[in-house]
Amino acid sequence: MTMKKLAFTAAALFLMASPIFVFAQSNPVVGGVSNPVVGASSNSVQNPLGGINSFCGLIKAILSAVIAIGIPIAVLFIVYAGFKFVLARGNPGALQQARQNLLYTLIGIGIFLGAWLLALVIANTVNALGAGSSQSQIISCN
């Protein structure tokens, strides 16, 4: 299958499935009362982030999501580097490339976890410094 046919098929499938997603409507229940989407007369805006009510909470949620996604990806890269070692089968050029891939993967993981650790240290330091001042509520990330 050529790339043009593959792209055309993917575009056709997307266009056939898009009306399902575009025209779908829901009728959420808010506080036990049905709130229709069309013609809703509520004048309040709900927080789409759930229980996140501060900037610090947003940063914590983003960091935890990045860590939760990044660690499995890092493991997959290590497994990929291992496969490159196995597939090298003694070929010196391929072994050198596999070693380089593993080294770069480990350096990337070190940078990733180091940045996460640095963010935790900075947040804890800011919290410790702000605990005794009157502005602890402004910079508190608890």
pLDDT in tens, 61-110: 888 888 889 899 999 999 999 999 999 988 899 999 999 999 999 999 99
Dig out the tokens for 54 from the structure: 């501060």
Q: Is residue 118 a part of any domain in this protein? A: yes
Dig out the tokens for 85 from the structure: 């070692």
Q: What pTM does this model have?
A: 0.54
Q: Is residue 89 a part of any domain in this protein? A: yes
CA distance from start to end of the chain: 55
Phi and psi at residue 46, to the nearest 5°:
-85, 145
Q: Is residue 31 a part of any domain in this protein? A: no
pLDDT band at 122 (very low <50, low <70, confident <90, very high): confident
Q: Is residue 114 a part of any domain in this protein? A: yes
**Domain limits at 100?**
55-139
Q: Is residue 119 a part of any domain in this protein? A: yes
As a whole number of angstroms, the distance between CA 37 and CA 14 comes to 26
| Number of domains, the chain | 1
As a whole number of angstroms, the distance between CA 61 and CA 50 comes to 11
